[in-house]
Amino acid sequence: MTDRYAVIGNPIGFSKSPLIHAMFAQASGQDMEYTAIEGPPGGFAGAVDVFCAVGGKGLNITAPFKLDAFAYATERSERAQLAGAANAMKFDGERVLAENFDGVGLVRDVTHNLGCQLQGKRVLLLGAGGAARGALLPFLAQAPAELVIANRTVARALELQAMGAARANVRGCGYSDLTGQTFDVVFNATSASLRAELPPVPASVFAPGCLAYELAYGKGLTPFLRLAQNAGTRRLADGVGMLVEQAAEAFAWWRGVRPDTRAAIERITIALV
């Protein structure tokens, strides 16, 4: 019997997940189907109940339902608990397991696909929302020399600092505190690029040879990436690889086999122009 999986969000028409997982299934010989579900506002639990009732095995979750997925689950991984959100679910009888693979996928893209190791590097993470929370543990596992988290609301950055203080050299601050500092890798985990806006980060944060990484994908040369480029940064990347790598993590969690990601990344990459 063909196993059923899906991605749920609202809106969902833009999602590349059905294409990615179809490529994974074909390449790895898995008997499964993967569809997209547009969940109604306030109706996440009902939509998931229906999916489970027809034999659904697992879900990817995108905006605005990651918090709903976390609440719906009966068991949550440490990554999901730290993020306070889930981007993948697995159904096992009465058990509903929640995971968050966003940060793992991000680190995999940076270290494996882009060849940029984070160990011993000075890393700047812009934003302190769900994406930043999901990245915290995977980042710290790479043992950077320092991880600085900058956010408009400094209290939220300090909250992440407290969460990671026992694990590594983590510091939370406001954007104005970045003046005079430089970093080897700069991640934009804010929502600014979704509105074609620029987070208030000084151009001086990009050290020579820096990697500037935009977590949003398919937006071309965003204001953040353009700022980095104008500052002399030549290593630019968006979140396409992160998207595909977190999908591969979910696929492996569900199916027990991790697919190769190169073809999917090449298929959906948009030039940064």
pLDDT of residue 124: 98
pLDDT surpassing 90 at residue 168: no
Q: Give me the residue label for tokens 């397991």.
A: 97
Among 16, 57, 66, 90, the one annotated catalytic: 66
What pLDDT does residue 46 have? Answer: 98
What average pLDDT does the chain have?
95
Q: Which stretches of the chain are DSSP H helices?
A: 17-28, 44-53, 66-72, 78-83, 102-108, 130-141, 154-164, 223-230, 240-255, 262-268
So what CATH class is 103-238?
alpha beta
List the domain boundaries for the chain.
3-100+241-268, 103-238
Identical fold between 3-100+241-268 and 103-238 = yes
Level-2 CATH architecture, domain 3-100+241-268: 3-Layer(aba) Sandwich (3.40)
Residue 77 has pLDDT above 80, yes or no: yes
Note whether 213 and 243 are within 8 A (CB): no
pLDDT value, residue 182: 98
Active site residue 66: yes
Asked if the model's pLDDT at residue 200 lies above 90, the reply is yes
Whether 94 contacts 75, CB under 8 Å: no
Q: What is the pLDDT of residue 265?
A: 98
- pTM for the whole thing? 0.94
pLDDT at position 65, please?
94
- What whole-number percentage of the chain has pLDDT above 90? 89
Q: What is the pLDDT of residue 151?
A: 97
